[in-house]
Amino acid sequence: MERVMVVKKEALEKRLSEGVLTRENVDSILDFIQREHFFVPRESAEYDSSIKQIIPYVLIRQGRRYFVMKRLARQTEARLHNLLSLGVGGHINPGENLSAGQSILEAGLHRELQEEVFVEKLLSLDCVGVLNENTGGVSDYHVGVIYLLEAQGEVRVLETEKMEGGWMTQRQLEEEAEWMETWSQHVLQELILSPCCSQ
Protein backbone atom coordinates (compact mmCIF):
# COMPACT_ATOMS: atom_id res chain seq x y z
CA MET A 1 0.00 0.00 0.00
CA GLU A 2 1.48 3.33 -1.09
CA ARG A 3 1.77 6.03 1.56
CA VAL A 4 2.08 9.66 0.48
CA MET A 5 3.31 12.91 2.05
CA VAL A 6 0.58 15.26 3.29
CA VAL A 7 0.15 18.29 5.54
CA LYS A 8 -2.90 19.68 7.28
CA LYS A 9 -4.80 21.77 4.74
CA GLU A 10 -5.89 24.55 7.13
CA ALA A 11 -2.39 25.07 8.54
CA LEU A 12 -0.86 25.17 5.05
CA GLU A 13 -3.40 27.55 3.59
CA LYS A 14 -2.83 30.07 6.40
CA ARG A 15 0.65 30.49 4.93
CA LEU A 16 -0.47 30.93 1.30
CA SER A 17 -1.65 34.00 -0.56
CA GLU A 18 -5.27 34.33 -1.68
CA GLY A 19 -4.60 33.54 -5.34
CA VAL A 20 -3.86 30.16 -6.89
CA LEU A 21 -0.10 30.74 -6.87
CA THR A 22 1.99 31.93 -3.91
CA ARG A 23 5.40 33.35 -4.80
CA GLU A 24 6.27 35.08 -1.51
CA ASN A 25 7.77 33.47 1.62
CA VAL A 26 8.39 30.22 -0.25
CA ASP A 27 11.28 29.24 2.03
CA SER A 28 9.08 29.45 5.12
CA ILE A 29 6.42 27.33 3.40
CA LEU A 30 9.06 24.70 2.56
CA ASP A 31 10.20 24.77 6.20
CA PHE A 32 6.60 24.23 7.31
CA ILE A 33 6.21 21.23 4.97
CA GLN A 34 9.48 19.71 6.16
CA ARG A 35 8.48 20.19 9.80
CA GLU A 36 4.79 19.26 9.72
CA HIS A 37 4.41 16.60 7.02
CA PHE A 38 3.21 13.08 7.71
CA PHE A 39 2.27 10.07 5.59
CA VAL A 40 -1.11 8.44 4.97
CA PRO A 41 -2.35 5.74 2.58
CA ARG A 42 -2.86 7.25 -0.86
CA GLU A 43 -6.35 5.77 -1.16
CA SER A 44 -7.59 7.71 1.87
CA ALA A 45 -5.65 10.89 1.00
CA GLU A 46 -7.54 11.20 -2.30
CA TYR A 47 -10.82 11.75 -0.41
CA ASP A 48 -9.72 13.52 2.79
CA SER A 49 -10.49 17.24 2.55
CA SER A 50 -8.61 18.02 5.79
CA ILE A 51 -5.18 17.34 4.22
CA LYS A 52 -3.24 18.25 1.10
CA GLN A 53 -0.92 15.87 -0.76
CA ILE A 54 2.45 17.47 -1.54
CA ILE A 55 3.45 17.24 -5.22
CA PRO A 56 6.77 18.65 -6.51
CA TYR A 57 6.17 20.05 -10.01
CA VAL A 58 9.36 20.79 -11.96
CA LEU A 59 9.48 23.09 -14.99
CA ILE A 60 12.45 22.41 -17.28
CA ARG A 61 13.84 25.40 -19.17
CA GLN A 62 16.68 25.73 -21.65
CA GLY A 63 17.30 29.26 -22.84
CA ARG A 64 13.94 30.59 -24.01
CA ARG A 65 12.32 27.17 -24.42
CA TYR A 66 10.37 24.97 -22.00
CA PHE A 67 10.13 21.18 -22.06
CA VAL A 68 6.53 20.05 -22.54
CA MET A 69 5.17 16.52 -22.16
CA LYS A 70 2.01 15.00 -23.58
CA ARG A 71 0.37 12.33 -21.46
CA LEU A 72 -0.56 9.37 -23.67
CA ALA A 73 -3.58 7.09 -23.30
CA ARG A 74 -1.44 4.38 -21.67
CA GLN A 75 -0.69 6.71 -18.74
CA THR A 76 -2.58 5.67 -15.59
CA GLU A 77 -4.43 8.93 -14.80
CA ALA A 78 -7.27 8.93 -17.36
CA ARG A 79 -8.26 12.52 -16.52
CA LEU A 80 -4.93 13.72 -17.95
CA HIS A 81 -4.80 11.67 -21.16
CA ASN A 82 -3.64 13.65 -24.22
CA LEU A 83 -3.16 16.82 -22.19
CA LEU A 84 0.08 18.80 -22.22
CA SER A 85 2.09 19.16 -19.02
CA LEU A 86 4.84 21.63 -18.17
CA GLY A 87 5.65 19.88 -14.91
CA VAL A 88 7.52 16.72 -13.96
CA GLY A 89 6.52 15.41 -10.57
CA GLY A 90 4.55 13.08 -8.38
CA HIS A 91 3.82 11.93 -4.84
CA ILE A 92 6.46 11.79 -2.09
CA ASN A 93 6.81 8.50 -0.21
CA PRO A 94 8.34 7.73 3.21
CA GLY A 95 11.18 5.60 1.83
CA GLU A 96 12.88 8.31 -0.26
CA ASN A 97 16.69 8.05 -0.36
CA LEU A 98 18.09 11.21 1.21
CA SER A 99 21.49 12.63 0.35
CA ALA A 100 23.40 14.71 2.89
CA GLY A 101 21.56 17.94 3.70
CA GLN A 102 18.61 17.02 1.50
CA SER A 103 14.95 17.27 2.57
CA ILE A 104 12.56 14.42 1.84
CA LEU A 105 10.72 16.70 -0.61
CA GLU A 106 13.94 17.30 -2.55
CA ALA A 107 14.75 13.58 -2.51
CA GLY A 108 11.32 12.72 -3.92
CA LEU A 109 11.63 15.46 -6.52
CA HIS A 110 14.93 14.06 -7.80
CA ARG A 111 13.54 10.50 -7.85
CA GLU A 112 10.57 11.63 -9.95
CA LEU A 113 12.86 13.50 -12.34
CA GLN A 114 15.12 10.46 -12.76
CA GLU A 115 12.13 8.21 -13.41
CA GLU A 116 10.45 10.42 -15.99
CA VAL A 117 13.12 12.38 -17.89
CA PHE A 118 16.79 12.33 -18.79
CA VAL A 119 18.50 15.68 -18.22
CA GLU A 120 22.08 15.75 -19.50
CA LYS A 121 23.17 18.64 -17.28
CA LEU A 122 21.29 20.38 -14.48
CA LEU A 123 22.52 23.96 -14.11
CA SER A 124 20.18 25.12 -11.33
CA LEU A 125 17.01 24.08 -9.51
CA ASP A 126 15.01 26.63 -7.51
CA CYS A 127 11.61 26.67 -5.85
CA VAL A 128 9.60 29.50 -7.45
CA GLY A 129 6.13 29.10 -5.95
CA VAL A 130 3.39 27.02 -4.38
CA LEU A 131 0.26 26.24 -6.38
CA ASN A 132 -2.98 25.69 -4.45
CA GLU A 133 -6.25 25.30 -6.34
CA ASN A 134 -9.61 24.58 -4.71
CA THR A 135 -12.12 24.29 -7.53
CA GLY A 136 -14.00 21.17 -6.57
CA GLY A 137 -11.85 18.70 -8.50
CA VAL A 138 -8.79 16.53 -7.96
CA SER A 139 -6.68 19.63 -7.19
CA ASP A 140 -8.62 20.09 -3.94
CA TYR A 141 -6.55 17.24 -2.50
CA HIS A 142 -3.10 18.27 -3.82
CA VAL A 143 -0.74 21.23 -3.62
CA GLY A 144 2.06 21.79 -6.12
CA VAL A 145 5.50 22.94 -5.02
CA ILE A 146 6.79 24.54 -8.22
CA TYR A 147 10.48 24.32 -9.15
CA LEU A 148 12.35 25.78 -12.13
CA LEU A 149 15.16 23.62 -13.50
CA GLU A 150 17.68 25.23 -15.85
CA ALA A 151 19.00 22.50 -18.15
CA GLN A 152 21.84 22.19 -20.63
CA GLY A 153 22.28 19.58 -23.33
CA GLU A 154 19.85 16.78 -24.09
CA VAL A 155 16.51 16.41 -22.34
CA ARG A 156 14.18 13.54 -23.22
CA VAL A 157 11.27 11.53 -21.83
CA LEU A 158 12.20 8.15 -20.34
CA GLU A 159 8.71 6.70 -19.88
CA THR A 160 7.98 6.75 -23.62
CA GLU A 161 5.07 4.33 -23.26
CA LYS A 162 3.28 6.93 -21.09
CA MET A 163 4.51 10.29 -22.40
CA GLU A 164 6.16 12.11 -25.27
CA GLY A 165 8.07 15.36 -24.95
CA GLY A 166 9.58 18.30 -26.78
CA TRP A 167 10.52 21.97 -26.53
CA MET A 168 8.22 24.98 -26.94
CA THR A 169 8.80 28.72 -26.88
CA GLN A 170 6.62 31.03 -24.81
CA ARG A 171 4.64 31.92 -27.92
CA GLN A 172 4.02 28.25 -28.72
CA LEU A 173 2.96 27.64 -25.12
CA GLU A 174 0.41 30.43 -25.35
CA GLU A 175 -0.94 28.96 -28.59
CA GLU A 176 -1.30 25.51 -26.99
CA ALA A 177 -2.61 26.66 -23.59
CA GLU A 178 -6.12 25.25 -24.09
CA TRP A 179 -4.64 21.74 -24.41
CA MET A 180 -2.73 21.95 -21.12
CA GLU A 181 -3.68 20.38 -17.82
CA THR A 182 -4.99 22.95 -15.32
CA TRP A 183 -1.79 23.29 -13.25
CA SER A 184 0.23 23.94 -16.40
CA GLN A 185 -2.23 26.65 -17.46
CA HIS A 186 -1.77 28.38 -14.10
CA VAL A 187 2.02 28.06 -14.26
CA LEU A 188 2.07 29.44 -17.80
CA GLN A 189 0.00 32.51 -16.93
CA GLU A 190 1.37 33.30 -13.48
CA LEU A 191 5.03 32.29 -13.79
CA ILE A 192 6.28 31.82 -17.34
CA LEU A 193 4.50 34.85 -18.81
CA SER A 194 5.38 36.99 -15.78
CA PRO A 195 8.64 38.78 -14.92
CA CYS A 196 9.54 35.98 -12.45
CA CYS A 197 10.51 33.39 -15.04
CA SER A 198 10.35 35.00 -18.47
CA GLN A 199 13.55 35.87 -20.31
d(CA 141, CA 133) in angstroms, rounded, equals 9
State residue 162's pLDDT score: 84
State residue 102's pLDDT score: 81
Q: Which element (helix H / strand E) includes 62?
A: strand 51-62
- What is the rounded average pLDDT of the residues 99-121? 90
pTM: 0.90
d(CA 13, CA 20) in angstroms, rounded, equals 11
- What is the rounded average pLDDT of the residues 96-113? 86
Instruction: Report whether pLDDT(26) > 90.
Output: yes
pLDDT (tens digit per residue) in 35-62: 999 999 999 999 999 999 999 999 999 9
Instruction: Report whether pLDDT(117) > 90.
Output: yes
Instruction: Report whether pLDDT(125) > 80.
Output: yes
Percentage of the residues of the chain whose pLDDT score is greater than 70: 92
- What is the rounded average pLDDT of the residues 167-179? 95
Please give the backbone phi and psi of residue 181, each rounded to the nearest 5 degrees, phi first: -65, 160
- What is the rounded average pLDDT of the residues 99-118? 89
Q: Which domains does the chain have, with CATH numbers?
A: 3-192 (3.90.79.10)
Q: Which element (helix H / strand E) includes 84?
A: strand 84-85
Residues contacting 156, CB < 8 A, separation 6+: 117, 118, 165
- What is the rounded average pLDDT of the residues 128-154? 91
Residues contacting 68, CB < 8 A, separation 6+: 84, 85, 86, 165, 166, 167, 168, 173, 176
d(CA 5, CA 54) in angstroms, rounded, equals 6
